[in-house]
Structure 1
Amino acid sequence: MIGRIRGILVEKTPGQALVECGGLGYEVDIPFTAFYHLPEPGQEVTLHTHFVVREDVQSLYGFASRLDRDLFRLLIKVNGVGPKMAAGILSGLEAQQFIHCVEARDIKSLVKLPGVGKKTAERLLIEMTDRIKQLEGQFIPASAGAEGGLADPAQLTITSHNPADEAEAALIALGYKPQEAARAISKVAEEGMTSEALIRLALRNMIPA
């Protein structure tokens, strides 16, 4: 099991990071909540990881905190929830927000997540109620920039010739329909906004905290 990776961030896009470690470049699938914390390319980064091995694919998932990674591991144990859906859930909700949804029995927020219908949301509430107790004592540091090479999200930018198109593509990759993605971005788009800011605001409007 690959539980953590530390190296130089070579490239980053919404949903994936390329990290060079020991002369090898690792393609790491990441939820948007981890993408927001990535430093600029060329800087050191540490990601908590989970390695998924199947007959047809091998994927390395990376997370900004151990809490996110451990919650991901609990989510993929839920019947009908695979790694891609679990990463999608953690793209739309921070770990602590998801835990709050479960504790508050907030099914309305869960069904707004891409790929999560009413039955899946109900199953998440039932199966995760007891499992999240395993996460007691864990927390997300207020500022991870001082440890593990993570940066302040407020300082992050993504360079793009067309931030709106990049943001729409990221939402579509997450599982939203093209029309939903376009509508969500158009509602929050303002001149000069980066694609990272567009994604964050669009998700915030689509999935209430």
Structure 2
Amino acid sequence: MIGRIRGLLVEKAPAQVLVDCGGVGYEVDIPCTTFYQLPEPGQELILHTHLVVRDDAQSLCGFATKIDRDLFRLLIRVNGVGPKVALGILSGLDAERFIRCIEAKDVKSLVKLPGIGKKTAERLLIEMADRVGQLEGQFTPVPAGGEGSEPAPAGVSDPAEEAEAALITLGYRPQEAAKAVNSVAAPGMSSAELIRLSLRSMIPAG
């Protein structure tokens, strides 16, 4: 099991990063909550990781904090929640907000997450009720790199288009993604800001 990697950030996108570790480039799938905390390419990056092994493929999932990685591991044990859905949950809700949803039995917020229907949300409430206690007291946010400041948009890509693409990757319909981004967009905003605010507009804090 690969539990942690440290190296130089080569490329970053809302759903995946490329990290150079001693000359080997690792493609790592990430949730948006980790994307918000990434340093700029060329800087050092540390990610807590989980290796997903399937019959047809292997993928490495990375997280800015250990608690997000631990929550991911608990989520994929829930019936009907695979790695992609778990990453989508952690893109819309950080660990602390997710725990609050479980404790408050907040089905409404959970069903607004991509890939989560009412039955899956109810299953999460039941199966995660006892498990989230394992995460209490672990909230010590640590940036994945840099100073934790808002990352600037890379290259000449359009932040709004990048934000819409990220939401679509998470499972939202194109129309939903465009509407959410347009509702929060303002001049000078980075893609990370747009993604975070768009998700908050669709999944308001409880």
Q: TM-score range by the shorter chain?
A: over 0.9
Distance (whole Å) between structure 1 residues aligned to residue 197 and residue 65 of structure 2: 22
TM-score for both structures, normalised by structure 2:
0.95
Q: Give the match's secondary structure for 1:60.
A: strand
Residues 188-207 of structure 1 mapped to structure 2, 5 A cutoff: 188-207=184-203
1:10 aligns with: 10
Identity of aligned residues (%): 70
Q: C-alpha deviations, 1:45-82, integer Å up to 9, x for none?
A: 10000000101111000001100000000000000000
TM-score for both structures, normalised by structure 1:
0.94
2:49 aligns with: 49
Distance (whole Å) between structure 2 residues aligned to residue 129 and residue 140 of structure 1: 22
Distance (whole Å) between structure 2 residues aligned to residue 4 and residue 72 of structure 1: 14
Q: C-alpha deviations, 1:65-121, integer Å up to 9, x for none?
A: 100000000000000000000000000001000001000111110000001000000
Residues 143-162 of structure 1 mapped to structure 2, 5 A cutoff: 144-145=142-143, 149-154=145-150, 156-159=151-154, 160-162=156-158
Q: Give the match's secondary structure for 2:129.
A: helix
Q: Which has the larger displacement, 119-128 or 193-202?
A: 193-202
Give the superposition deviation at 1:150. Answer: 4.7
Give the superposition deviation at 1:140. Answer: 2.7
Q: Which has the larger displacement, 157-166 or 22-31?
A: 157-166
**Structure 1, unaligned runs of 5 or more:** none
Give the superposition deviation at 1:151. Answer: 3.3
Give the superposition deviation at 1:194. Answer: 1.6
**Structure 2, unaligned runs of 5 or more:** none
Aligned residue pairs, count: 204
Q: Give the match's secondary structure for 2:130.
A: helix
The root-mean-square deviation of aligned C-alpha atoms, in Å, is 1.2
Residues 12-91 of structure 1 mapped to structure 2, 5 A cutoff: 12-91=12-91
Change (3 A) 1:9 1:102: same
2:162 aligns with: 166
Counterpart contact for 2:37–2:145, Cα < 8 Å: no
